[in-house]
Amino acid sequence: MTTVLIADDHPLVLSGLRALLDTLDGIEVVGEAADGPEAVRLAVSLRPDVAVMDLQMPDIDGVEATRQITQRVPGTAVLVLTMHDDDASVFAAIRAGARGYLLKGAAQKDVARAIEAVSRGEAIFGPAVAGRVLRFFAAGPESVSLPFPQLTAREREILDLMAGGLSNAEIGRRLFLSPKTVSNNVSLIFDKLQVAGRPKAIVQARNAGLGRTGPDEGREPNTT
């Protein structure tokens, strides 16, 4: 029996994923987490074979939760199940120690196969993600150069939106995050970039090529 912890901040997704896994032979869901800290805490206490992890979660994101789980519970394999298929998210999760990466909407049989594969120590990726990984290794590591490597994938995403002119409230709506979570991440970004405030962070981000997302249509960029 493969024991599984599932982590997702959307209750409907969490319950749907549990219902799906409960129908599969040989898989037992032993815990559910709605945010990053809870995922880490349950992984440490329950020591499941596999943690199925969303990347977009409050307090600490799935990348940082993956990093902490793989460091503190090396016997637990992390399988990312998310809607994000951009290079930054994929490679940040892999660097954090994820053994698998699937996109939400994957077929039930693919999810089951991925859980069993990572529990055996294998690496497995959905078709779209596998293509990115293969292109990366074919072209060489220099083909993917992420700005601000000290930032997590979530922090880089928030900085990108900041550089695009979005306010904290707009970022929260765009990423389905609470105002407190956005504010906490913005403070961490300032600390890691060693800047005193938003305008200087935005200048650094734009100089690095971020900010292409842009503000909501019809709004002027906000640098205050």
Calpha distance 91→119 (Å, rounded): 20
Q: 105-111 contacts: CB < 8 A, separation 24 or more?
A: 106/81, 108/20, 108/23, 108/24, 111/20, 111/21, 111/81
Range of the domain at 174: 153-207
Is 216 contained in some domain? no
Whether 213 is covered by a domain: the verdict is no
Find the CATH number of the domain harbouring 57: 3.40.50.2300
pLDDT in tens, 127-159: 778 877 777 666 655 545 567 878 888 888 899
Number of domains in the chain: 2
pTM over 0.75: no
Q: How far apart are CA 167 and CA 223, in angstroms?
A: 8
Is the torsion defined by CA of 206, 134, 61, 84 positive or negative?
A: positive
Residue 222 lies in a domain: no
For residue 110, is it within any domain?
A: yes
pLDDT at 209 exceeding the cut of 60 = yes
Average pLDDT over residues 49-59: 90
Let me know whether 80 and 164 are in one domain: no
| One-letter amino acid for residue 192 of the chain | K
Highest mean pLDDT among 127-141, 171-185, 210-224: 171-185
Rounded to whole angstroms, how far apart are CA atoms 117 and 122?
A: 5
In a domain, 219, yes or no: no
Instruction: Kindly give the pairing relationship between strand 100-103 and strand 124-125.
Output: parallel
Q: How many helices (H) and strands (E) does the chain have?
A: 10, 6
* pLDDT, tens digit (0-9, with 9 covering 90-100), for 56-91: 887 888 888 999 999 999 999 999 999 887 777 888
- Examine the domain organization and report whether 28 and 94 are in the same domain: yes
Statement: residue 215 has pLDDT above 50: no
Whether 148 maps to a domain, the answer reads no
Domain-embedded: residue 12: yes
Q: Does one domain contain both 83 and 159?
A: no
- Say how far apart CA 136 and CA 80 lie, in whole Å: 19
8 and 65 inside one domain:
yes
- The model's pLDDT over 102-122, given as tens digits with 9 standing for 90+, comes to 998 888 889 999 999 999 999
Residues 65 and 105 in one domain: yes
**Which pLDDT does position 221 carry in this prediction?**
39
Q: Which residue has the higher pLDDT, 145 or 224?
A: 145
